[in-house]
Amino acid sequence: MEGRVGVVTGGGKGIGLAIARKLRSQGAAVVVTGRDRDALDAFVAETTAAGGRALAVVADMGKAGEADRVCAATLAAFGKADYLINNAGITRDGLLVRMSDEDWDAVLDTNLKGAFRAIRAFTRSMMKQRWGRIVNITSVIGLIGNAGQANYAASKAGLIGLTKAVAKELASRHITVNAVAPGFIETAMTEALGESVRAGLQAQIPLGRLGSAEDVAHAVAFLCSEEAGYVTGQVLPVDGGMVM
């Protein structure tokens, strides 16, 4: 990935941070976005210390205009963008009959509309260079649904449809568009669930363990690589066999 530039939304922590570190480890310059300035600055500092190049852009991808601002900052700093990883996402869980319009809209605006806006913003420069990799981070919940997460499931399922439609639109410009669907991943959220709940989750996974953020990052790096140049419009579950 030497000479390439990657953009990771929601790149300050968790899966996004693991992806950003993976791209950096392979030689790419990395732009990270998020709402936590300290987390983003920490990534830039560790990247600079390692001899790499990085840029932090504080942004809420659920708001209009933010994707265009991130794109402008990326092009100003590095002159191009080769990889776009749409990872920014939120949850507002609740039973359907009690879910407010505000909770529905907040999740769809960030998880789905935010990705749409980012793709729209960055595609222009990718089309000019006739090369690009777009990877959307969806979820197994978008494939199988989950009680109490109607808004989240709808946003992640919508992201799969967006992936396939855009893949068809951009294929002639040598831009691939794929999605990675993580299963249950070790994060701060799963750590807080308690041992009995975690054991129940693991029982649903054929490989018998929760995944790591690095497991997801490895899949993303493959889809960004030259070796994946003939892969587009696909959804790759990284779930230990759970959906299977």
In sequence order, what DSSP letters do the residues of 27-66 get, joined into one string?
Answer: T-EEEEEES-HHHHHHHHHHHHHTT--EEEEE--TTSTTH
Tokens at 120, concatenated:
């729209």
- Measured between alpha carbons, how far is residue 210 from residues 14, 31, 163, 235 in Å? 14, 28, 26, 20
- Whether 152 is catalytic: yes
Tokens at 89, concatenated:
């996402």
Phi-psi region of 148 (alpha: psi -120 to 50; beta: other; left: phi over 0): left
How far is residue 216's CA from residue 139's CA, in Å, rounded to a whole number? 11
Catalytic residue among 137, 152, 215, 236: 152
Enumerate the H helices of the chain as residue ranges: 14-25, 37-49, 66-78, 101-108, 114-129, 141-144, 150-170, 188-191, 195-203, 213-224
Residues marked as catalytic: 152
